[in-house]
Structure 1
Amino acid sequence: MQGKNPRRIQLFSGLLCFFALFMAACGSQASTPTAGKAADDQQVFRYPMEGKQDFGTLDPALVQDATDSYAIQAIFTGLVQFDDKGNVKDQLAASHSVSSDGLTYTFKLKPNAKFSDGSAITASDVAYSINRALDPATKSPVVSYLSLLKDSDKIASGDVKTLIGDSIIVTDPGTIKLVISQPAAYFLQTLTYPSSYVVEKKLIEKYGTSWTDHLQEGGTAGPFKVQSYSHSTGLILVPDSNYYGGKPQLKRLEMPFSGDVDTTYKAYQSKQYDYATVPAASLPQAKTRPDFVRTPALVIRYISMNYLAKPFNNIKIRQALALAIKKSLITDNVLHGAVDPTNRLVPAGMYGASSSVNGPTGLATVDGDANKAKELLTEGLKEEGLTSMPDFTFTYYTGSATIKKVVDAVMSQWQAVLGITPKTNAIDFDALVNAQNATIGNSSLQVWIGGWQADYPDPQDWLSIFFGKGQSYNDNNYGQNQSATATAQQAVQADLKKADVEQNATKRAQLYNTAEQKLINDVAWIPLYQSASVVLVNPKLKGYTVDALGITDPEDWQNIYMTK
């Protein structure tokens, strides 16, 4: 989740074990407290909110940004969650079972579960929370994570007012059943996303849309609770004594708004924070530090073009822009090897990632083809009745000097190879997320830089939700346009739908691989690079895991502490 998102395969048995091994190899490992633990007044973890002036939201039903999601996962929980090795595990649920037809999931709740104000959490609270996210009145931009629930389309259209008693069934205070419309190998993964997390009805009814400004009164159910929240300075969390799981050893988790990456990095060096992302320019020096951590991340940085904004409806023009970019120049010269150039839409290192992909027109290299790019641009413009590329705007987000350098490097190559210099529009990160949401079905955005971090490590979370028919993240309008290749795009959407429900894991991966290559050929995105978490972590912080999913298992907080 670019952060969309903010922000997560159970493909069962062997595949899950493979991913667990991958995650274990990548992340620093949680440990059990030992001698040398600092006093309680020193059990403070200062985790900066880099590039944020405020949270976009603390409402689990609305969250898209990975930074927002990190905070939400510290104070809210759902039925299931990923552990730090990538396994889906019961969380608020004590256990779950699946019917023989794969359609009904039954969850037994932990009997001691309470909200942060001490009120008991029942199956009715879970039902309310999930139904609230589905309710059109909530205006959830991430409701697609719950679209597998039977009749979710009916509540979206207004044909029914609630799914409680339909596909969300409370059988007793400790048991809830969720019924899906078709078997799906990834359903439990979708429930790890915050849109299904439990929230407290009475707080929402009391304060309405401003309820997250009052979380110090209750409403949360995670290992931490809110002590204070300032829209100008940040969030201060303390352990929730009512939490049903292992209690945190940390006494305070501070999440201040810290400025851009460079500012935060300098502040870390002066001991203001306990964690910081390493700016690309500082990477050579940072690699020599004992507090340096590099973990491969399930994150793709990409450029998106709106198929409803001419002339980006033309496949040859999209291919020309893609082939004009020499990606290794960006990753080596601008990002100093912190990331890996890629032609992939699905990141390497997870289930369903293809053994190999080619760039558009079958290009095997990540470094483009300048001559082919020029040829395609000329042909595409001619097909559109144009003699030169019309003016267009490239939108990117502020708060990151690195993103600005990447955008500049891309535009420099477009100018050198194709003679194209777009206008630029620099806006706040949350504003760009909102603009992406708003561009579905129209041409309001033309070209923009984005990124996606896995909500759950499954190809469906990379392909279907962005390019599937009617998906809420299909913001470049793939298959939802009148271009000459729209029919071919719609055929790919049909293939994605088949892959989503295929129960044979090997066949399912093959279907996604074929669809991914077609999407790359069509330049659904211009993938630039696969990211890594390149950070500094205070050596006094023990038990903290930096993993490929960018999450902290709620139960890990009981093993995280500061040494003397």
Structure 2
Amino acid sequence: MSNFKKLFRKSMGLGTLAILFLVLLAGCSGSGDKADSTNTAQGSASPEPTQSADTAEPATGGTFVYGRPAAVTSFDLHHEITSNNAFAIDKVFESLVAFDSKGEIVDWLAKSHSISEDGLTYTFVLRDGLKFSNGTEVTAEDAVFSLNRHLKVGGPLEISAKVDTVKAQDKQTLVITLKEPYTPFISELSNFSNGILPNNFGGVTEAEFFKKPVGTGPFVVETWDPAGDLTFTKNPNYWQQGKPYIDKLVYKLIEDDSQAINQLKAGEVNAIESLALQNANEIKNGTDTAVLTNGSWVTEQLFFNTLDEHFKDVHVRRALALALDRDGLTKALTFGYAQTANSLLPTTIPYNANDTIKALNFNVDEAKAELAKSAFPDGFSTKLLVASGNSTRAQEAQIIQAAGQTIGIKIEIESIELATFRERFFAYDFAAMLNSGQADSPEANSILAFQTDPEGFSKSYWTHYTNDEVTKLLHEGQKTADGDGRAEIYSKLLQTLADEVPYIPLYYPDILIGARSSVQGLVVLPNGSVRLEAVSISK
């Protein structure tokens, strides 16, 4: 999903994104103390608790206003990937399994699941008494319909496993049979795109259904402006007893991050998504504000369109990578809330190889020598596409521009509004761009497949990067069981990406959410989304 895929995933993190995650994660409540809360990665087998035993009962009722940089344009979970839509879809639709704030897979709509020893049969038993928001019962047939619809549509987060059958064994039991093992499958089922919706859309047309969607999630769409704000009401039939605590949830469109900061400080919103890194300490130390943080499945990157006359030349890409001081950029712009990236995969994901990858580190002399090997030894002029309204990205662009200048590459920064930015890169209408790659589920294949498969939905994240050996390794990794063999496959794949740099990993940013100190129970997820069923606003 880029800022998404996630970005992504996995979103635009949404990204897919399965990028995985083992470690640091943000604590869930914005308490009055100004320390960031951080989560550590231990698993859980059920929805994670949001309060300790000695904490008072949460406040109930009220409206929670969440500032977001982009409007929600669609609820069709099988056609969407960008974070603006993904992180609204996941409030309405829920999957059989999910991931918690630590990146661990947990049972969600399923009360249990099992995988056969040969890795071909997946059995899920639904929770007792599950209902959709309209009060109708959830059955295994609904899950069959939902997954088959996803298989038919495909979409940006398609089910990549070779599925043989999806069948309801009885009213509560679903059995999925694969034609061949696919290691990422259980993790990918946690994607928002595998949410469960009513069989046959509950008797209405697809168009009608997605204008007023019915799901099992904690919230129900009340009013929705695809170019503006979105208001949810609580789902009275939600399966987690007593939740959600709030009566209404408003997604408020705030396109500029400085405006978002001002509205948070003024109390006009209860929290803001994608808190700019340079504003984190200001909000952390504010009188009535706090920062909620988590390690992320996100990698900030400089992407190259390998169809571009300049960036199809590997020596040009390598030269710019060598000219760029990624450590300096990270330290200057992230204020301790990020780690310099060597690998495409964040360190929160298994098989990331960040400590073993031989990256192209900052060396201007080597950069000039590399450019001399290219078809453009005397340099050239190009453009860098950036979404406006994000001050961190604007500064990244200036640092990259200066780096290019040192070796004779003149870079014009083209800053455009976010929606148009997305349209441009979806159309491959760019030479280079700044964006993030993000996993949608806790699995290395999530981001690797999205960014290295030239035949996939995004054509290697809109770079058109093609390397037959990388594609072969990608497919081997999908079929290989977790362990040393899989680690070796991904190590080779990631080193090739580091050598050929179709994109330059810059840094792994923490997920930062700005919140009022009165906010309790907000859970930050490593894909950039938040869980709000347990959120409350103290009086």
TM range (shorter): 0.7 to 0.9
Conserved? CA contact 2:245–2:535, under 8 Å: yes
State the alpha-carbon separation in 2 of the partners of residues 498 and 391 from structure 1.
39
Match of 1:379 among 373, 384, 402: 373
What corresponds to 1:452 in structure 2? 437
- Structure 1 runs not aligned, ≥5 long: 10-17, 151-165, 480-488
Deviation at 1:498, TM superposition (A): 1.5
Aligned-partner Cα distance in 2 for 1:468–1:38:
46
Aligned-pair CA distance for 1:20: 5.9
1:7–1:550 Cα contact (<8 Å) kept: no
Q: What letter is aligned with 2:367?
A: A
- Which runs of structure 2 are paired with 1:451-490 in the superposition (5 Å)? 451-468=436-453, 470-473=455-458, 474=460, 475-479=462-466, 489-490=467-468
Give the aligned residue type for 2:161: L
- RMSD over aligned CA atoms reads 2.8
C-alpha deviation, 1:33, in angstroms = 8.2
* Deviation sequence 1:408-454 (CA, Å, 0-9, x none): 22112211x12222344434434444444444xxxx43211120222
Equivalent residue number for residue 261 of structure 1: 257
1:562 aligns with 2:529: no
Instruction: Label 1:399 to 1:224 Cα distance change in 2 as closer, same or farther (>3 A).
Output: same
Q: 2:85 aligns with which of 68, 71, 83?
A: 68
**Given the alignment, which residue of 109, 116, 120 partners 2:133?**
116
Give the structure-1-normalised TM-score.
0.82
| Equivalent residue pairs, number | 505
Task: State the alpha-carbon separation in 2 of the partners of residues 310 and 172 from structure 1.
Answer: 57
Distance 1:120 1:249 in 2: 23
Query: Residue in 1 aligned with 2:192?
Result: 194
Residues 1:395 and 1:210: Cα distance change in structure 2 (over 3 Å): farther
The yes-or-no answer on 1:349 pairing with 2:334 is: no
**Distance in structure 2 (CA, Å) of the matches to 1:252 and 1:67:** 19
SS in 2 for 1:377: helix
Structure 1 Cα separation of the partners of residues 487 and 296 of structure 2: 20
The alignment status of 1:171 with 2:186, answered yes or no, reads: no
The aligned counterpart of 2:474 is: 496
Give distance in 2, aligned partners of 1:213 and 1:307: 38
Cα deviation digits, residues 464-514 of structure 1 (max 9, x gap): 3311352223121222xxxxxxxxx21122122222221142321232122
Distance 1:355 1:312 in 2: 25
Task: Give the deviation of 1:358 after TM superposition.
Answer: 4.3
Specify which structure has the higher proportion of helix. Answer: 1
Give the stretch that moved more between structures: 294-303 or 542-551: 542-551
Shift of the 78–239 alpha-carbon distance from structure 1 to 2, 3 Å rule, reads: same
**Shift of residue 37 of structure 1?**
5.6
Aligned-pair distance for 1:81? 0.7
C-alpha change, 1:257 and 1:24, in structure 2 (3 Å) is closer
Identify the residue that residue 32 of structure 2 maps to in structure 1.
none
Change (3 A) 1:91 1:285: closer
For the pair 1:89 / 2:106, whether they are aligned, the reply is yes
Letter paired with 2:535:
I
Which of 216, 224, 232 aligns to 1:229? It is 224
State whether residues 5 and 440 of structure 2, in contact with CA within 8 Å, keep that contact through their aligned partners in structure 1: no
Matching residue of 2:155 = 140
In 1: Cα distance, 2:255 partner to 2:426 partner: 25
SS of the residue 2:296 aligns to: strand
| Aligned mates of 2:99, 2:502 — CA distance in 1 | 29
Contact 2:67 2:271 in 1 (8 A): yes
Q: Distance in 2 between matches of 1:35 and 1:94?
A: 27
Question: AA paired with 2:95?
Answer: G
Alpha-carbon distance, 1:355 to partner? 5.2
The whole-number CA distance in structure 2 between the counterparts of 1:461 and 1:197 is 17
- Residues 1:185 and 2:172 aligned together: no
Q: Which amino acid aligns with 1:226?
A: V
Give the letter for the 1:495 counterpart.
L
1:125 aligns with 2:142: yes
Task: Give the Å deviation of 1:134.
Answer: 2.7
Instruction: Give the letter aligned to residue 473 of structure 2.
Output: D
Q: Do 1:468 and 1:497's aligned partners in 2 also have CA atoms closer than 8 Å?
A: no
Moved more, 466-475 or 187-196: 466-475
Instruction: Give the stretch that moved more between structures: 525-534 or 468-477.
Output: 468-477
Q: Aligned equivalents of 1:199 and 1:434: distance in 2? A: 29
**In structure 2, do the counterparts of structure 1 residues 550 and 283 end up closer, same or farther at CA, with 3 Å as the change threshold?**
closer
Q: Deviations over 1:66-91 (max 9, x none)?
A: 23222211111011111223221221
Partner of 2:51: 31
CA deviation profile, 1:507-532 (whole Å, cap 9, x unmatched): 21232122101111110311111111
Q: In the superposition, relative to structure 1, how do residues 232 and 433 fare at CA in structure 2: closer, same or farther (>3 Å)?
A: closer
- Percentage of matched positions with identical amino acids: 22
CA contact (8 A) 2:371 2:377 kept: no
| Larger RCO (CA under 8 A, 6+ residues apart) | 2
> Secondary structure of 1:508's match?
helix
Task: Provide Cα deviations, 1:53-104, integer angstroms capped at 9, x if missing partner.
Answer: x214222112212232222111110111112232212212222222231111
> Is residue 95–residue 109 contact of structure 1 (8 Å, CA) maintained in 2?
yes
Asked whether the 8 Å contact 2:256–2:390 carries over to 1, the reply is yes
Structure-1 separation of matches of 2:282 and 2:26: 26
| Corresponding residue number in structure 2 for 1:394 | 384
